Chains A and B, each alone.
Chain A
């Protein structure tokens, strides 16, 4: 079955550094990858979408890449801040398939 896999271990980094989160997909080829942020006790919030024919997408301090050869997306937060601490979810979707498949998320902790 199609899977989106994210590192379940928490990522701890120092304020000001770049955080890099990984999302791998298996058994299918999503046409789109989406990234969401989830804070404790709240619903996910959409951050970025990247299409399979786009190598890279940026939004302010966020950057996401889509590598169809490696079957992987990388999500970067530059100049990280303690307020960036949250769980980040990756989700894959297709043009024909109607629903997104979500990964289990990676928790990011930015230390001041």
Chain B
């Protein structure tokens, strides 16, 4: 039982390059989330998917797109990376949406945009 897995662990991009961050969970969870974490800012929600087939914007969606490929997988795409997107990205999942569900987090992807 791997929980939530993320790839890659580290990535360096040049401004304007694109990339996709992959996330998968094996807990049969319905809801999945993408956060970014910056020093002093805490976790900020980028996008989430309450259930397979749905996605919604979070607090900081600009510059990102997501795909809920199936129940297990939720990817985050940066179409044209900018230095402001340098951050640590965490994927999380929960059984359902709503504040009563604990979230399970992946190990994170550390992204640097030059």
Contacts and interface: CB of A to CB of B under 8 A. Distances in A.
Interface of A: 4, 8, 30-32, 34, 41-46, 49, 51, 89, 91-95, 97-105
Nearest to A90: B42
Interface residues of B, number: 27
A30 B99 contact: yes
Nearest to B42: A104
Contacts of B31: 98
B98 A98 contact: yes
A32 B99 contact: yes
Task: Select the residue from A8, A43, A94 with max chain B CB neighbours within 10 A.
Answer: A43
Task: Select the residue from A91, A94, A99, A103 with max chain B CB neighbours within 10 A.
Answer: A99
B102 A34 contact: yes
12 contacts: A30-B99, A44-B43, A44-B105, A89-B43, A94-B99, A95-B98, A95-B99, A98-B56, A99-B48, A99-B58, A104-B40, A104-B41
Contact of A8 (B35, B40, B50, B99): B40
